[in-house]
Structure 1
Amino acid sequence: MTGIEGYSEKTFEQCKYVNEYGEDFWFARDLQIVLLYKEWRNFAKVIDKAKTACEISKSNVLDHFVDVNKMVHIGSGSEREVDDIMLSRYACYLIVQNGDPKKEVIALGQTYFALQSRKQELQDEFESLDEEKKRLAIRNELKEHNKSLADAAKAAGVETPIEYAIFQNHGYQGLYGGLDRNAIHTKKGLKKSHQILDFMGSTELAANLFRATQTDEKLRRESVQGKINAYNTHLEVGTKVRQTIEELGGTMPEDLPTPETSIKKIEKQVQKKEKLNEVD
């Protein structure tokens, strides 16, 4: 990532702070540097748009954009006070959504903050579940989103089963550093009859769920046309998700452990338990 001249390079994750309540936040001056805005006045316009979007969403702007003052070094050991803003994760998400779409780092920021939000949602939603139930819940959600993704791909020009398989492989290759479905299958040491999604842990499934939902949204939002463009869109999103996982310090999907129990077996166990409960 190329930094603004005179500034050291930073990433979204390196700029993150945590308050006394365990909540993540960022300073606008730091985010300005990461998003490659040379002048504060131009970045302030993006922040104003984000505040407007926050109001439209019926969220309290003051809960997400908190004005603060801080001291900055200006050379020769001197300091001066500047205005800054403490930003919530949601505020940062709104900022990158309203940033310059021509900047590659803006697209990366959109993926980063959306993934952060999704990660938090999953933590809140599945906090009380064990790993097997988490796997089953995310896998079922992924099934539904894959149906929507298939519709979006078809609208873009991906029509035949072979074309859709190629389309899916592009997504996997982006997320798994070049590995396609067959290569992932081999790396996991699965049998021919096994489906790779049935032998993923909750973390790996969550990454694939995010890849699917973001590709679906991008295909529809940008009205992508042509199967080649659809392939490249899936590859691009998968690659961005991988970059974000790397920035977060996470384990790459292909290096995550493969569960011994398949999700199909877990489903059967759950169904059997439900039938027994009905009898009781």
Structure 2
Amino acid sequence: MKSIITKAGQSLFDEIRHEDDQGTEYWLSRELAKVLSYSDYRNFISVINKAMEACLNSGGAIENHFGDVTEMVSIGYGVKREIKEIRLSRYACYLIVQNADPAKEIVAIGQTYFAIQTRTQELQKEEQPQLTEEEQKRLFLRGEMTRHNTQLAAAAQEAGVKTSLDYAIFQNHGYRGLYGGLEAKDIQARKGLKKSQHILDHMGSTELAANLFRATQTEEKIKRERIRGKQNANRVHEEVGAKVRQTIEEIGGTMPEDLPTADSIKHIEKKLNPPARKKKPIE
């Protein structure tokens, strides 16, 4: 497995991080392509284009996150030439790894890294010191799960998962792959949750990140391979879940079913949006 920690103890993604004179951080597209194991930069450009489209669809301004720049590189004998680069924000990097080749192991790691770091940065800018770093991560990842589960449901429906019962079975196949055979009700019991308590609301950031990767890659695989038939969709979901589980095992991580049960995400949301206090009537 490719190591993501350099000799200096930094993440590979941190090592290629730059800051300009104003202290604004950025990444360069060619350096990111290399870290993500894209040997042909032309193939990486198509990934960037998908990320730009995702930025636009989410209401973002492309120019705020993707900027064309020119770099001078040495080609030997003291000669330099200009090359075109794209200056990327942290959010741009996040969108890129979400659209990169899921077969590349480093892409899975990059998705978690940029997802967490992007939201942490946003919350810091919003000056919300009442949230811990773990709470910030959970809040962001839970929101991403909601968004990507909606997209996954649409992809599954296109494949033939039509009824609510079909979708429940489809979701259970994903859980079975990721949780070593456990279905939703089994996970609830293992985590000490009531039937009325949503599993995702009680996951820590590590467990949410694993489930987010399961959801995004299942959606992508169903679309990419034009999966049809609910049995085939179920199979794909379980296979992807199992692959994520295998990756966790290979890097020495804790299996998701063994991770601690977190307090409800709704308690974090209340910190950000406390209920309005009723005014005491004038006597």
TM score, norm. by length of structure 2: 0.58
Q: In the aligned structure 2, how far is the partner of 1:192 from the partner of 1:54?
A: 38
1:274 aligns with 2:271: no
1:48 to partner: Cα distance: 6.7
1:211 to partner: Cα distance: 3.0
Q: In the aligned structure 2, how far is the partner of 1:49 from the partner of 1:184?
A: 39
Q: What corresponds to 1:258 in structure 2?
A: 261
Residues 13 and 247, structure 1, Cα contact 8 Å, conserved in 2: no
From 102, 118, 123, the equivalent of 2:120 is 123
Alpha carbons of structure 1 residues 120 and 240: separation in structure 2 relative to 1, 3 Å: farther
Moved more, 13-22 or 227-236: 13-22
| Superposition map of 1:1-280 within 5 A | 10-11=2-3, 17=15, 35=37, 43=40, 46=43, 59-62=66-69, 104-105=103-104, 108-127=105-124, 128=128, 130-131=131-132, 134=136, 135=138, 138-139=141-142, 142-242=145-245, 251-259=254-262, 261-263=263-265, 266=267, 273-276=274-277
Q: What corresponds to 2:59 in structure 1?
A: none
Partner AA of 1:164 in structure 2: Y
1:170 to partner: Cα distance: 2.2
Q: In the aligned structure 1, how far is the partner of 2:172 from the partner of 2:150?
A: 16
Q: In the aligned structure 2, how far is the partner of 1:272 from the partner of 1:52?
A: 36
- Residues 28-81 of structure 1, C-alpha deviations (whole Å, 9 max, x = no match): 8998798597xxxxx46545766888999763354xx967679xxxxxxxxxxx
Q: In the aligned structure 1, how far is the partner of 2:280 from the partner of 2:225?
A: 52
Aligned residues: 249
Moved more, 126-135 or 228-237: 126-135
Aligned CA RMSD, in angstroms, stands at 5.1
Residues 50 and 91, structure 1, Cα contact 8 Å, conserved in 2: no
Structure 2 spans left out of the alignment, 5+ residues:
7-11, 54-61, 76-84
Q: In the aligned structure 2, how far is the partner of 1:257 from the partner of 1:149?
A: 26
Moved more, 164-173 or 13-22: 13-22
TM score, norm. by length of structure 1: 0.59
Q: In the aligned structure 1, how far is the partner of 2:51 from the partner of 2:115?
A: 18
Residues 173 and 238, structure 1, Cα contact 8 Å, conserved in 2: yes
Q: In the aligned structure 1, how far is the partner of 2:216 from the partner of 2:45?
A: 28
Partner AA of 1:262 in structure 2: S
Q: In the aligned structure 1, how far is the partner of 2:98 from the partner of 2:119?
A: 22
Partner AA of 1:60 in structure 2: G
Q: In the aligned structure 1, how far is the partner of 2:169 from the partner of 2:154?
A: 15
